[in-house]
Structure 1
Amino acid sequence: MADTATATGADAFQNIINGRPAPTAGSQPVLDPATGTPVGQMPLGTVEDLDAAVDAARAAFPAWAAASDADRQAACLKIADRLEQAIPELAPLLTAEQGKPIGGFGSQWEIGAAAAWTRHTAGLELPVSVLQDNNEGRVEVHRKPIGVVGSITPWNFPVLIAAWHIIPAVRAGNCVVIKPSPNTPLATIRFVEIINQVLPAGVVNIVCGADEIGAAMSAHPGIDKMVFTGSTGTGRKIMASAAETVKRLTLELGGNDAAIVLPDVDPQAVAEGLFWGAFLNNGQTCACIKRLYVHDSIYDAVCDALSALAAAIPMGDGRQDGVALGPVQNAMQFERVKELVEEARASGARILTGGAPSGGPGYFYPATIVADAEHGMRLVDEEQFGPVLPVIRYTDVEAVIARANDNPNGLGGSVWSQDTERARALALQLECGTAWINKHGMIQPNAPFGGIKQSGVGVQFAEAGLMENTVGQTLIM
């Protein structure tokens, strides 16, 4: 069991290498997006710190890979228990650095979901596959751990996505070096401390720092696989730098998900599902509705229902009671959302509600419904990743499938209809990794999840996701 720091306060956040706090010469403030004030100090690791973390992971790998399947399962279950017990500490910290509310689908939910995902992943198994067993011989396929997995996580779901990266890797027998987003590193550091209370030293290491750390990870000869969740642009850079060492990759990249509402729905009945399918986590979710296509016959009714919900939604500091949406997480994203809405307005779109931030403090952008949006507007063509929903009118159902598919992204999509069989047939025509019917963004640990086209490489979750943390060896006898 590793020895980790248990102190609290701004000075207590340190990188963890080989099971111990690793002091750094410098640090960088982490800002509360609701107030603009510092939450704590992120340790600024160096490339030399990364080298030390990789060395620790490589040294720990032989023993961890040789541990029994039962021991690795038990360790993951113990991590889940301790993570659940830490919700009262971690949720306020996560809200302070990320901005999401503590309650609802906010920080407490995220930490609880990370624990639940960890528990589910602990129960997954990859038994030996027997492809042939007859008088001519026996053919088996064994799954073995890859080695050292490098993880780079984003700022929208810092702890949950860290669990998605780390837990399948260690469950399969790998060791990990993780670099969290500089915007939200603090709760992830605490999560890695919890993991190190359970796992042997060196199995999971964390190195926070500037972008150079991420670039060095994807090129590092001691890292055997990279897993990344984030923008398509950064994913391209990781692919390019990983090519030199032919690393394995799991990349969950940008999404610009389309939802198609058929004319047979009751606008009032689907409005809440559509709203939260678009505005979960303040719209800062890869697999949420970014483009809503509504049939002309119910277009105005759907827009009115969504506008009423958006206008009434409580937004504010996530520590306040009753708040449902917090701020946009950082200044760069806040400015991008403003820019795309204003461009759409100038191009003829109608802002039904929202569209006018109050001016601070904090990066608060009101829930915004944009009617008369069209292809050719950046708000439609690009992923805006914020609390804005463009609504696009259509008349021909078959034609709208082609329009929805006319995008370089292919993460998720959905069809909304009272006719489930028709919706199923249309959903299967969508060019995306996951399609939903009468819901959107409902990711679950027993269902593989990943993008196609420029939305990623590989999948996460379930047995298929666990398998991506292994290499196959065929044994012929």
Structure 2
Amino acid sequence: MDTTLQQTDSLLNAIAPAPGEPRREILDPATGELVGFAPVHGLAELEAAVAAAKAAQPAWAAAGHEARSAALNAAAEAVEANAEELARILSREQGKPLNGPNARFEVGACAAWLRAAAATPLEPETLVDDGQTRAVLHYRPIGLVGAIGPWNWPMMITVWQIAPALRMGNAVVVKPSEYTPLSVLALVRVINGALPEGLVSVVSGDREVGAAITTHPAIGKVMFTGSTATGKAIIRSSADTVKRLTLELGGNDAGIVLPDADPAAIAEGLFWGAFINTGQTCAALKRLYVHADIYEDVCRALTDYAAQVPMGVGLEEQNVLGPLQNKAQYEIVAGLVEAAKASGARVLLGGNPDETQPGFFYPTTLVADIDNENPLVAQEQFGPALPIIKYSTVDEAVQMANALEVGLGASVWSADPEKAREVAARIEAGTVWINAHGAVDPRIPFGGAKQSGYGLEFGAEGLKHLGQPQIING
């Protein structure tokens, strides 16, 4: 057996359920093979995690920023020391390939975000000091943070949640997706080698555990990445305890290609903006609006690029696109593409899955000549199928981009960055990229507009959202 695979199995064994403990089979979405067994925790395990967090948090808060940052840097080193094992678990459980902007990339991002949280300065801010009045703004620990994560980027988004929470002096209880618990269990086990006992716990349970986190009186803040519908449920259930919330919810990101853009020059950026993680990314490009003057040229350039990108089993080094993570998501994508085909839309590439093969593979699919009200455009597909819509005027493109109730990200593509920025200012989204899409940076705040959530992550603003503001006046 491959030595790295033996090491991966060793880490999987370390997080496996104890004999007699409830467990869930986790299967590889690319092959259907068994990856491992995840524990099925319940409310008793949640209470134990909360008790451990409450015991560990006061000393952690008292340690101060410098000591906490040192521990986060040590955690980053631990992630890097175990990077290949973590990437293989992630690839086998989530489906994403090792290479490209996928499993190894995601594990590397975990280390990068831990270091960024450690390095970002956040000093007390003197608001007024005029000789008569002195007011200084501080950020104190909230206490306990509940982190509820998704299945698409399970390791990276968990770090997005726990790194700033820890830096600000909080303890964290993590609830991973039922689809990808092994990745998060393994990651937290590695990170905990650099942290005080009890400070970060994983409760690998079902929706009952997630719901209990949102109502638990000891948890002062909930961070959630997932669907808008679940985010609304969290808002309602957290109301009685007036929890602080950071919600990164669903998106259906628009990209607008202006008529001066060079189709050949932007094809690669458009592709990865849409198809990173096989389209399973909240801030992926999901609706592409192209001016009529260059519409066919963009369709051709994008099709030529997309046709060359290999899809397959994640552990095979040549692949950079993988399967859908689960059958339910596969069926959503397949249904939306079939509806588009039935409406008369033109399929440029894909749309023809081989259902005789194992795994939830849906081919890279580009759909042109599609109406803006078509479900493939109006609903978030969250998979490898991109609709391309023709427009005549920039006003029309902006109106279509803004027509939906979500607004996580967007992009504008042009040979003239200043002209692109003018269009970007008119788009209702939390982030608008110029000649790129979805490029998040640990130094730059990120959050949604409209029903794509509220609260900010990353940078100093992200740290502030994991602290309790306190004004000392006098």
Q: Same fold (TM over 0.5)?
A: yes
Q: CA deviation at 1:312?
A: 2.1
Task: Report how far residue 23 of structure 1 moved.
Answer: 7.6
Which residues of structure 1 form unaligned runs of 5+? 1-5, 16-21
State the SS of the aligned residue for 1:444.
coil
Q: 2:159 aligns with which of 160, 163, 171?
A: 163
Is it true that 1:66 corresponds to 2:62 in the alignment? yes
Which of 330, 333, 338 is matched with 1:337 structurally?
Answer: 333
Residue 7 of structure 1, CA deviation: 8.3
CA distance, structure 2, for counterparts of residue 215 and residue 25 of structure 1? 22
- Does 1:434 find its partner at 2:436? no
Which residue of structure 2 lines up, in the alignment, with residue 421 of structure 1? 418
Partners of 1:165 and 1:9 in 2: CA distance:
23
- Give the CA deviation at 1:310: 2.1
Aligned to 1:222: 218
Partner of 1:13: 15
Which amino acid letter does the alignment assign opposite residue 354 of structure 2? S
1:389 aligns with 2:386: yes
Matches within 5 A, 1:266-285: 266-285=262-281
2:101 to 105, 113, 118: 105
Give, in whole Å, the separation in 1 of the partners of 2:64 and 2:349.
Answer: 57
Distance 2:340 2:235 in 1: 33
Aligned match for 1:458, one of 455, 460, 465: 455
**Would the aligned equivalents of 2:43 and 2:212 in 1 still touch at CA under 8 Å?**
yes
Matches within 5 A, 1:341-420: 341-359=337-355, 360-420=357-417
Give the one of 39, 44, 48 matched to 1:52: 48
- Superposed displacement of residue 51, structure 1: 1.0
Pick one of 302, 306, 310 that aligns with 1:306: 302
Q: Distance in 2 between matches of 1:24 and 1:94?
A: 26
| 2:247 partner letter | L
Deviation at 1:181, TM superposition (A): 0.8
Q: Distance in 1 between matches of 2:307 and 2:416?
A: 30
Cα distance in 2, alignment partners of residues 190 and 36 from structure 1: 21
The CA distance in 2 between the partners of 1:370 and 1:24, in whole Å, is 50
For residues 211 and 333 of structure 1, do their structure 2 counterparts lie closer, same or farther at Cα, with a shift above 3 Å needed?
same
What's 2:4 paired with? none
Deviations 1:239-273 (A, max 9, x none): 11111101000000011000000111111111111
Task: Kindly indicate whether residue 179 of structure 2 is the aligned counterpart of residue 177 of structure 1.
Answer: no
**1:10–1:169 Cα change, 3 Å:** closer
Deviations, residues 187-244 of structure 1 (Å, cap 9, x unaligned): 2111111222111111101100111111111111111110001111111111111111
What is the alpha-carbon distance in structure 2 between the residues aligned to residue 254 and residue 117 of structure 1?
22
The match for 2:253 among 248, 257, 264 is 257
The whole-number CA distance in structure 2 between the counterparts of 1:454 and 1:196 is: 35
Distance across 2 between alignment mates of 1:317 and 1:405: 37
Alpha-carbon shift at residue 135 of structure 1 (Å): 2.3
Contact 2:12 2:186 in 1 (8 A): no
Report the Cα offset of residue 11 of structure 1.
4.7
Structure 1 partner of 2:196: 200
User: Which residue identity does 1:169 align to in structure 2?
Assistant: A
Per the TM alignment, residue 25 of structure 1 is displaced from its structure 2 partner at its CA by 2.5
How large is the Cα RMSD of the aligned pairs?
1.4
Q: SS state of the match for residue 67, structure 1?
A: helix
Q: 2:292 is matched with which residue?
A: 296
Shift of 1:333: 0.3
CA positional deviation for 1:471: 0.7
| Aligned partner letter, 1:25 | E
The letter for the 2-side match of 1:136 is: Q
Report the identity percentage. 52
- The separation in 2 between residues aligned to 1:126 and 1:306, in whole angstroms, is 43
23 and 122 in structure 1: CA distance in 2 versus 1, 3 angstrom threshold: farther
Letter in 1 for 2:32: G
CA distance in 1: counterparts of 2:234 and 2:54, whole angstroms: 21
For the residues of structure 2 that align with 1:400 and 1:150, how far apart are their CA atoms?
39
Distance 2:295 2:457 in 1: 36
Partners of 1:104 and 1:84 lie apart in 2 by 18
Contact kept? 1:30, 1:182, Cα under 8 Å: no
Match in the other structure for 2:469: 472
Question: Normalising by the residue count of structure 2, what TM-score does the alignment of the two structures yield?
Answer: 0.96
Match of 1:122 among 118, 124, 141: 118
| Distance in 2 (alpha carbons) for counterparts of 1:324 and 1:225 | 36
Q: Is the 8 A contact 1:145 1:469 kept in 2?
A: yes
Within a 5 Å distance, the mapping from 1:67-82 to structure 2 comes to 67-82=63-78
Q: Secondary structure in 1 aligned to 2:307?
A: helix
Equivalents in 2 of 1:267, 1:340: separation in Å? 26
* Contact 2:260-2:415 within 8 A present in 1 as well: yes
Give the letter aligned to residue 466 of structure 1: L
| Residue identity opposite 2:231 in structure 1 | G
Say whether the 8 Å CA contact 1:42–1:209 is kept in structure 2: no
Indicate if the aligned counterparts of 2:98 and 2:315 stay in contact, CA closer than 8 A.
yes
Match of 2:239 in 1: 243
- Structure 2 regions of 5+ residues with no counterpart? 1-7
SS of the aligned residue for 1:41 comes to strand
Within 1, Cα distance between the matches of 2:267 and 2:78? 38
Post-superposition CA distance 1:409-433 (Å, at most 9, x none): 1000011111111110100110000
Q: Are the aligned partners of 1:257 and 1:411 in contact in 2 as well (CA < 8 Å)?
A: yes
Cα distance between partner residues in 1 of 2:105 and 2:412: 27
Which residue matches 1:317?
Answer: 313
Task: Tell me the CA shift for residue 10 of structure 1.
Answer: 5.2
Deviation per residue, 1:154-190 (Å, 9 max, x gap): 1111111111000100000000000111111112111
Cα 1:13–1:211 change in 2 (3 A) is same
Counterpart code for 1:456 = G
Residues of 1 paired with 2:85 and 2:396: CA distance? 50
- The residue identity in structure 2 corresponding to 1:13 is I
For each residue in 1:301-340, what CA deviation from the matched residue of structure 2 results, as whole angstroms up to 9, or x when unmatched?
A: 1111111222222110011121110111110000100000
